[in-house]
Amino acid sequence: MKKSLRFILPLILYSLSIFSIQAQDRPNIIFILTDDQPYGYMGVTGNTIVKTPNLDKLTNDGVLFTNAHITSAICTPSRVSILLGQYERKHGVNFNSGTSVSNEAWKESYPMQFKNAGYYTGWIGKNHAPVGKGGYQSGLMEKSFDFWYAGHGHLTFYPKKHHPIFKNAEFDTQVEIIDEGVTKFLDVNEQKFEGAVQFLEKRPRDKPFMLSINFNLPHSASTRTMEQKETDDEIYKSLYRDLDIPLPANYIAKADIKTPKLPSSIHRVEDRQVGYSFSDTPEGTKERYIRQMQAMTGIDRLVGNLRKNLKALKIEKNTIIVFTSDHGLYMGQQGLGGKALCYEITTHVPLVVYNPKLKKKSRGVKNDALVQSIDIAPTMLSFAGASIPKAMQGKDISKIVSGEKASVRNYVYTENLWSTQFGNPRCESVQNKEWKYIRYYKNNTFSANKKIQVAKDLGIKEKHMLYAVHDSDIAIYRDYIESSLQGEKPVYEELYNLKNDPSELHNLVSKEQHNSILEELRKEWKKQITNARGTDAPKVYRYTIDSQLESSDKVQLE
Ligand SMILES: [Ca+2]
């Protein structure tokens, strides 16, 4: 043997052995995201009606974060925040932003990072993040995964009607269609799955996988469209219907509101999207709650099937499962309906991290560390030993999961920039485990009711009137991002003691004895919002109805 080869060969063998150890050791990761699921919708988070035995078991086998918050309480910005590990104020994408995620920003998303790290990647269910030039029409997301079985925007309860990709599914209902997709994804013997966009015949055995499962449930768009069809599973027909369903705590019917939670100049309840009118009456609220509970039990069954499958495939000991929701939802508490606010009911979500490799003593733990949805991407990358892009603002909480670390932040920051004709205010909030401060800005948005009237009078499509975002709206949204940083004063503030008043019923902002904590939180707000914004220009593309018409794409509203 030549001297040089004798020197190099052990090095080559060593590198190969490292490579094979890494290939075997890297865990599979499954990320499950529900839609509009508030914190208390599982048995394990205190719900006494819903049956979620599999989610409860997953939680008891893992770690439940009891103090997890999203960053923006509405689908699109929250989901982009999760994908990119960034606050909305940095990523700049919402329903009213007139923008989509640029290719450059997308390269640093968690799915692309997993792909670059050699993972086989899958996306099943719903996508509500416009990605690439042309947003949902760009095709960039589909191409980014090895296995794609999903629809853009709302799926509804019977997704085949609106999303041809699911047309050959055995079942008609959303959870069961997603379940079928998940089973096919996992089965290494399964040939190309009809319907799915797949770039390989089979999932390779020698590669770890990263699978994102995204529900459009218990979201109103899906529970609203439930029809209790003969062919539906019994879960979606009769379950919970024989029970005496209580109204949510602090429920106020619309007709009984004496003093609105927020001044009407800041929050115009009368302009609320009609999709949330169910919360106006006790009957509407109870019916929607039953459907939400049914959806949760359906999702729970999928989680049970998934774990059985992992066991049958003998990969359960090497597969991490992360479960959370994109935000919560008001069901008439204090007379409020919908989301897009900074209150706990909209921002507080369950976050479960199940890592089978952890020692028993680190599992079945309830942890009250302050964590946020933007932490999920860096944490999953950390589990995989992959690098975390600098653009991600979230923290790696894997050491909190293992019990080696107590905290990663002292304050949580949340915001609402979806301030539109539907009357919701711009607001920003900072909180620690005891105190929470929210500030609101002048709401100059035009009234949805007035728009609807004009649409009726002139025969204009109501949907276009309400949901079309024009180029000029980009400037308004960008101003929402920058103005409070540049000195715009709040017109209303709130201070809550979360320990004594977790339902945020008593605003203490004008109580003199709390002045010092109020001042402290105002200072912290400045730090947090500055950090959330970052210094970079937004990495977005123009994505408005004008840009869609110019490129003669099929116009996609919402
Ligand atoms: Ca949502």
> What is the model's pLDDT at position 24?
55
Residue 14 has pLDDT above 60, yes or no: no
* Backbone dihedral region for residue 293 (phi beyond 0: left; psi -120 to 50: alpha; all else: beta): alpha
Question: pLDDT grade, residue 193 (50/70/90)?
Answer: confident
Instruction: Considering only the C-alpha atoms of the chain, give the largest distance between any 2 of them, rounded to a whole number of Å.
Output: 91
Torsion 71-74-76-82 (CA) sign: positive
Taking only Cα atoms into account, the Rg of the chain, rounded to an integer number of angstroms, comes to 24
Of 125-129, 132-136, 293-297, 548-552, the one with minimum mean pLDDT is: 548-552
> What is the model's pLDDT at position 2?
44
Q: For the residues of 127-184, what is the DSSP string, one character each?
A: E---BSTTGGGS-HHHHH-SEEEEEES---SSGGGT-GGGTT-S-SSHHHHHHHHHHH
Interval between CA 23 and ligand 1 midpoint (Å): 35
- Mention every residue, 6+ apart, whose C-beta is less than 8 A from residue 153: 126, 127, 128, 136, 556, 558
- Strands 435-440 and 492-497 turn out to be antiparallel
Interval between CA 358 and ligand 1 midpoint (Å): 31
Q: What is the mean pLDDT of residues 344-361?
A: 96
Interval between CA 518 and ligand 1 midpoint (Å): 31
> What is the model's pLDDT at position 288?
98
Closest by Cα among 293, 392, 397 to 38: 293
Q: How far apart are CA 269 and CA 336, in angstroms?
A: 8
> What is the model's pLDDT at position 6?
47
The CB density around residue 422, as the number of other CB atoms within 10 Å, is 22
Interval between CA 142 and ligand 1 midpoint (Å): 21
Q: How far apart are CA 315 and CA 96, in angstroms?
A: 42
Interval between CA 392 and ligand 1 midpoint (Å): 21
- Per-residue pLDDT of 31-87, as tens digits, reads 999 999 999 999 999 999 999 999 999 999 999 999 999 999 999 999 999 999 999
Interval between CA 515 and ligand 1 midpoint (Å): 35
Is pLDDT larger for residue 16 or for residue 143?
A: 143
Domains, the chain, with CATH or none: 24-410 (3.40.720.10), 415-537 (no CATH)
Interval between CA 516 and ligand 1 midpoint (Å): 36
Q: Contact 127/197 with Cβ under 8 angstroms?
A: no
Instruction: Please give the helix or strand (H or E) that residue 330 lies within, else none.
Output: strand 330-331
Q: Contact 36/289 with Cβ under 8 angstroms?
A: no
Interval between CA 224 and ligand 1 midpoint (Å): 14
Going by the DSSP 8-state scheme, the letter that residue 414 receives in this structure is E
Interval between CA 73 and ligand 1 midpoint (Å): 7
Interval between CA 34 and ligand 1 midpoint (Å): 8
- Per-residue pLDDT of 102-144, as tens digits, reads 999 999 999 999 999 999 999 999 999 999 999 999 999 999 9
Question: pLDDT grade, residue 553 (50/70/90)?
Answer: low
Instruction: Give the tokens for residue 97.
Output: 């932003």
Q: Which residues are 23's β-sheet partners?
A: none
Print the SS3 string covering 443-457.
CCCCCHHHHHHHHHH
Burial class (CB in 10 A: 0-12, 13-18, 19+), 293: buried
Question: pLDDT grade, residue 20 (50/70/90)?
Answer: very low
What mean pLDDT, rounded, does the chain reach? 94
Interval between CA 331 and ligand 1 midpoint (Å): 14
Q: Contact 538/94 with Cβ under 8 angstroms?
A: no
> What is the model's pLDDT at position 478?
98
Helix axis angle, 174-186 relative to 282-312, nearest 10°? Answer: 10
Q: Contact 136/165 with Cβ under 8 angstroms?
A: no
Residue with tokens 């959303």: 174
Interval between CA 173 and ligand 1 midpoint (Å): 19
- Per-residue pLDDT of 353-396, as tens digits, reads 999 999 999 999 999 999 999 999 999 999 999 999 999 999 99
The CB density around residue 514, as the number of other CB atoms within 10 Å, is 15
- Per-residue pLDDT of 451-462, as tens digits, reads 999 999 999 999
Interval between CA 394 and ligand 1 midpoint (Å): 20
Closest by Cα among 388, 328, 488, 352 to 86: 388
Interval between CA 121 and ligand 1 midpoint (Å): 23
Instruction: Give the tokens for residue 503.
Output: 């339902």
- Mention every residue, 6+ apart, whose C-beta is less than 8 A from residue 308: none
Interval between CA 219 and ligand 1 midpoint (Å): 6
Residue 198 has pLDDT above 90, yes or no: no
Residue with tokens 């369903």: 245
Q: Establish whether the linkage from the previous residue to 218 is cis, with ω within 30° of 0.
A: yes
Interval between CA 45 and ligand 1 midpoint (Å): 19
Q: How far apart are CA 554 and CA 545, in angstroms?
A: 10
Interval between CA 154 and ligand 1 midpoint (Å): 10
Q: How far apart are CA 119 and CA 97, in angstroms?
A: 32
> What is the model's pLDDT at position 22?
45
> What is the model's pLDDT at position 112?
98
Interval between CA 397 and ligand 1 midpoint (Å): 23
Residue 13 has pLDDT above 50, yes or no: no
Residue 190 has pLDDT above 90, yes or no: no
Interval between CA 380 and ligand 1 midpoint (Å): 21
Helix axis angle, 376-383 relative to 75-84, nearest 10°? Answer: 30
Q: How far apart are CA 300 and CA 175, in angstroms?
A: 10
Q: How far apart are CA 428 and CA 519, in angstroms?
A: 15
Interval between CA 326 and ligand 1 midpoint (Å): 5
